[in-house]
Amino acid sequence: MSFDHLQDQIRAMKNPTVVGLDPKPEYVPPHILQACYEEFGANLAGAVHAVYRFNCGLMDALSDIVPAVKPQSAYYERLGWRGMKMLERTIAYAKEKGYFVIADVKRGDIGSTAQAYSEAWLGKTQIGEGAFAAFGADCVTVNGYMGSDAVNPFLDTCRAEDKCLFVLVKTSNPSSGELQDRMAGDRLVYQVMGELTQRLGGTAGKYGFTPAGAVVGATYPSDLQELRKRLEQTFFLVPGYGAQGGTAADVRYAFDKHGHGAIVNSSRGIMCAWQKTGKNGEDYQEAARNAAIAMRDDIRQFVTIA
Q: Which residues pair with 145 in a beta bridge?
A: none
Of residues 24, 95, 97, 106, which has the active-site annotation?
106
Q: Catalytic residue at 124?
A: no
CA 151/CA 145 separation, integer angstroms: 9
| C-beta atoms surrounding 184 within 10 Å | 11
CA 193/CA 169 separation, integer angstroms: 6
CA 269/CA 282 separation, integer angstroms: 17
Question: What type of residue is 25?
Answer: P
Active site residues: 106
